[in-house]
Amino acid sequence: MKHWLAALIVLLSPMASYAGTQRPEAEVQQKFVSGGTVRMHLEAGGYTVRPSDGEDVVVTYRAKSPDLLRDVKVEIKVADARADVYVSHTPHDNFEATIDVPRRCNLWARLSAGELKIEDVEGDKNVEALAGEIEIEIPHPEMYGHRDASVMMGSVEAPAFEVSKGGLFRSFSQLGPGKYRLHAHVFTGEVDLQDTE
């Protein structure tokens, strides 16, 4: 199962092997507020969501060539305590982006295919992908109340909550002592909830 998943992710994720090569990049930035909700609408690619000590939402994105980079469309729309991030027209080859958000905010994300990694951002998380991998850092599992994760085909690896399941229609649901909610779902691929404490 693991070998099959690895092959699937390599095929679907545009993040393959350009480490060490300089690629063109661009940036879009918008003022926001700590404690709000950031909603991410993401086309295929490799994404990392990172906490920052500022209150801006910043999307830095990279592609294989300047021509491919120019075709990408990135918008950040802010209304009150909600920011919607739209990344579209992504190339099929090696597109990746880093999204910096306030350290404390709620996250909602929908990814068509690829990889989405969420670092130590404090708040609710509602994350889904059609195909690929979702990885979420969970340094403090006790901060979450309701938490659930599922895949239609693939695996749920959640050492943060002492769960490991692989195959078809795999899921878990728990109720913990914390105030934050966690939901992660991948149709085909892997959910990885890592205890990084």
- pLDDT tens digits for 91-146? 988 899 999 999 999 999 999 999 999 999 999 999 999 999 999 999 999 999 99
- Which ranges in the chain belong to alpha helices (H)? 2-12, 66-71
Question: Is 61 a domain residue?
Answer: yes
Question: Is 135 a domain residue?
Answer: yes
Tens digit of each residue's pLDDT (9 = 90 or more) over 29-45: 999 988 999 999 999 99
pLDDT interval class at 163 (50, 70, 90) = very high
pLDDT interval class at 48 (50, 70, 90) = very high
With H, G, I as helix, E, B as strand and everything else as coil, classify residue 67. Answer: helix
pLDDT at residue 93, as a whole number: 80
- Kindly write down the DSSP assignment for every residue of 2-25, as one continuous string: HHHHHHHHHHH-S--S-TTS---E
pLDDT at residue 23, as a whole number: 78
With H, G, I as helix, E, B as strand and everything else as coil, classify residue 33. Answer: coil
pLDDT at residue 102, as a whole number: 96
Task: Provide mean pLDDT across the span 184-194.
Answer: 97
pLDDT at 90 over 90: yes
pLDDT at residue 21, as a whole number: 55
Range of the domain at 189: 2-14+24-194
- Using a cut of 0.85, tell me whether the model's pTM lies above it: yes
pLDDT at 162 over 50: yes
Amino acid at 113: A
Alpha-carbon torsion, ordered 136, 127, 165, 46, to 10 deg: -60
Question: Is 19 a domain residue?
Answer: no
Q: Is 17 exposed, middle or buried (0-12, 13-18, 19+ CB in 10 A)?
A: exposed
Question: Is 111 a domain residue?
Answer: yes
Split into its structural domains, the chain has a count of 1
Distance CA 176, CA 180 (A): 9
